Amino acid sequence: MLESLNPVSSCKKYSISLWQCPQFLFVVMGIVIILAIIVTYSLAVLKIGDPTIVSLVVLVVGAFLLIMNFTITNSFEKMAEVSKLKSEFIHIISHQLRAPLTNIKFSLDFLTSTKMTQTKEQQEEYYDILRENSTRMGDLIDNLLTVARIESGSFPLTKTEVSLERIAQKLIEKFKPFALASNVKIMLFSADHSLKVLADSLWIEQVMENFIDNAVKYTKGGGEINIKIYKKGNKVFYEVHDNGVGILKRDQVFIFEKFFRSANSLRKQTEGTGLGLHIAKKIIEKMGGKIGFSSQENKGSKFWFNLPTKKDV
């Protein structure tokens, strides 16, 4: 009960700054109004001979109140905007969860209602669908939780010295079967084996994996992926080049947006949660680096990030 009367704590709850928080601004307004009345009254009583000063004070106080009002209205607008985005977000999540859920539902429907006896192989195909789609839902939920953690700020990073080259080698090994199946060759170019960055090794691995995963996914029917690691200034760069399908020009602005889907909302990306690159951007920025890409339709894409090198002792 008392908690709700404390404007500072309730403003923290909405994670907006104090001067944008309606509760706090209302308290300030109240104090200003009371003060204004007292000051104006005492001035009028004490300096009754000088009405110019009295009216000047009234004008200043009036102007202050006007600005305050404007700020409050503005912050309400912002909150309404945020709430609109949130419902849009929920709409998209529900839709993203529904697709695998429908697959699971229909597979169970078929397995339980079919009149013909299924061979073991036929059944196995349906079990694969069930397995695949529950993983898909699980991945989406994992990603959503990561986004929520990033947005609320409760996102601990433990920075250590990390060799990007070593992680890249590990990832290439991991992607080998997948790359082989898609007829894609992955090559690593790294001149300086001693290069190290300051980063959280777990998260940086996730970002690096996301780049390679995208590159393989969008290099359909065979191609080449080149991973380059090099130092420029006091930054270490990690680049993934592919000669895949590329990204449409009109879609490029949205590439790091949450749940980005191409300009036409009815035209879906191939499978994926639409959160990978959004998370990557947040992680890299949080570790003090930069992220970017360049792409040409039907020619391929290049995704890169950089991170500060480890401080030389």
User: Site residues (CB under 8 A) for other proteins?
Assistant: 95, 98-99, 101-103, 105-107, 109-110, 113-116, 125-126, 129, 132-133, 264, 266-268, 270
Identify which of residues 36 and 130 has a Cβ nearer to other proteins in the complex: 130
Identify which of residues 1 and 266 has a Cβ nearer to other proteins in the complex: 266
Distance CA 277, CA 280 (A): 5
Identify which of residues 76 and 106 has a Cβ nearer to other proteins in the complex: 106
Identify which of residues 52 and 117 has a Cβ nearer to other proteins in the complex: 117
Identify which of residues 45 and 266 has a Cβ nearer to other proteins in the complex: 266
Residues with Cβ < 8 Å from 127, sequence gap 6 or more? Answer: none
Helix, strand, coil shares, percent, the chain, to 5:
60, 15, 25
CB of 86 to other proteins, least distance (A): 17
Decide: 32 and 68 in contact? Cβ < 8 Å.
yes
CB of 216 to other proteins, least distance (A): 18
DSSP assignment, residue 265? Answer: T
Distance CA 273, CA 108 (A): 24
CB of 103 to other proteins, least distance (A): 4
CB of 109 to other proteins, least distance (A): 4
Decide: 242 and 301 in contact? Cβ < 8 Å.
yes
CB of 128 to other proteins, least distance (A): 9
Beta bridge partners of 190: 229
Decide: 221 and 245 in contact? Cβ < 8 Å.
no
